[in-house]
Amino acid sequence: TYQQKYFETEINGYKFFAFLDAFHENDDQISIIETKASTSNKFLKIGNSVGGVFDSIFAEFDNGVLRLKEEIGADITPKYHQQRKKLLDKYGPAGKYVYDLAYQRYMVESTLKTHKPVKYYLSVLNRDYVYDGTVDKEGKAYYNADDVMVLVDLTEVTRELQLDIEQDLKIITERLDTMQAQPVPLGVYCQKGKGHRECPFIDICLKDKGAPTKNSIFAYRDGHHGFKENRGDKKNEVTYTLFELVNKGITKALDIPRDWLSEKQKIQYDTFYNKKPHAEIEMIRQGLKSLKYPLYHLDFESFASPLPRYKGEKPYQQSLFQFSLHIEYENKMPDIHKDHIEFLAQDHTDQREALVKKLIESIPMDDGMVVVYNKGFESARLKELILLFPQYAKELESIRTRIFDLLYLVRGNNDFYQSLGFSKKDSGTLVYYDEKFQRSYSIKKVIPVFAPSINYESLEEVQNGMQAQAAYYKFPYLTKEEFKRTYTNMLKYCQQDTWAMVKILEGLRELVNSQT
């Protein structure tokens, strides 16, 4: 950072710094540019639908720079300003980036003396950029900066945030003066569940409020929408947020009045109370009957690079490098090894077509269903492969249209169960729920209930998808022995994912048979 352009100022005896990614000055103006690891989609998706057509609050103007429509005289919708407020929310997906730039503006304008206008931009990747495969003299991917980068003009928005920045800096200096590390009321500022942005002390504050680590109020699905207290009629209904209830001392799942809960949340409440799983046996039974064999249990692993690695890809596109496949025939439990097919790229060269060939060779165009867990991911990847390799479109589309989501048999799905003859009301329920799930239906939460012998923690090096990506990324930097070990561990991890699906299905069959 010693080489970066930076600004500093003193506030109440404390020095504050802002290191800039780019400071550009010419005869007409000064440009401050902050680079963010995101795409233009983060901003272009802010807006609302008008007549069934999405209308963003941003428009491209002057060589691809995104500007607010109000600033270029474009027509704005009645809900424009409501959507625009998202830019001022420092805890929101886009607003957090705007806030960072607003802080930089405060620091710059506290010290920079100039008569030139100063413009403030975020630099992000262009969501519509498609890499054309061009390489430089060294054989490395070449990206035209004018095409791959987009500037978002936030000069006016960051101006509006200057009073907020000033107030926050005042709070910071006051807290530095007192240095009192005490639990505080919880709120959106805790950034609970927001990865590295989550407050590292949140567990201390939760413990202070009496929140248990298990069966807390946070275990309720859709709890982020709040809980409604019915006071006789809809007009007098009061909605409480999760944090409001926790700060009131309502921290345990069973502390909350049952009639404040949605129908699905009531199933969770009853499960916590009775200490017994909830199961809609007939729905599971009919779901199992709808399966068409052979079953191809499929799982993909992918790498989302900020700059696309291969021709035809976009920034952050999920680029496939591995798949695991277990084949299950009717009335016959598959063998974990003999009925397993796998593919894993051995280096970082483009092996997507090799993956496709192995995939369509392994899943013939028959009537068998392709079983996945949470179909959105696999379906989207197959659509992308069809666009990339139209010569295999027929075979890939056959795989995509035969996808069956195993999650339907556990979490449920309205359309699926209505197609099996269940009412709209019945189809909207949780099909199976166990206290061990808490608020998640991830395969890592579900598998211990149906197949406790499967243990991801026993796997070496690779125990989840993020670790699989990290292991793949390291391929070029490993010794021969390290590569061999890592490659083997990656194969074992992906194999366990599809074997877990086989075992969940087996567990559901056993559950239904035990109730017959």
Q: Locate 500 and state its tokens.
A: 């877990």
Rounded to a whole number of angstroms, the distance between the first and last alpha carbons of the chain is: 68
pLDDT given at position 237:
84
Sign of the Cα torsion 389, 390, 396, 397 reads positive
In whole angstroms, give the CA distance from residue 454 to residue 213.
Answer: 24
pLDDT given at position 232:
61
Which of helix, strand or coil describes residue 337?
Answer: coil
pTM of the model: 0.92
Three-state SS string across 4-22, please?
A: CCEEEEEECCEEEEEECCE
Which residues share a beta bridge with 329? 332
* Count of H-run helices and E-run strands, the chain: 18, 19
23 CB burial (10 A radius; 0-12, 13-18, 19+)? middle
pLDDT tens digits for the chain (516 residues)?
678 899 999 999 999 999 999 999 999 999 999 999 999 999 999 999 988 999 999 998 878 899 999 999 999 999 999 999 999 999 999 999 999 999 999 999 999 999 999 999 999 999 999 999 999 999 889 999 889 999 999 999 999 999 999 999 999 999 999 988 889 999 999 999 888 899 999 999 999 999 999 999 999 999 999 999 876 677 778 899 999 999 999 999 999 999 999 999 999 999 999 999 999 999 999 999 999 999 999 999 999 999 999 999 999 999 999 999 999 999 999 999 999 999 999 999 999 999 999 999 999 999 999 999 999 999 999 999 999 999 999 999 999 999 999 999 999 999 999 999 999 999 999 999 999 999 999 999 999 999 998 999 899 999 999 999 999 999 999 999 999 999 999 999 999 999 999 999 999 999 999 987
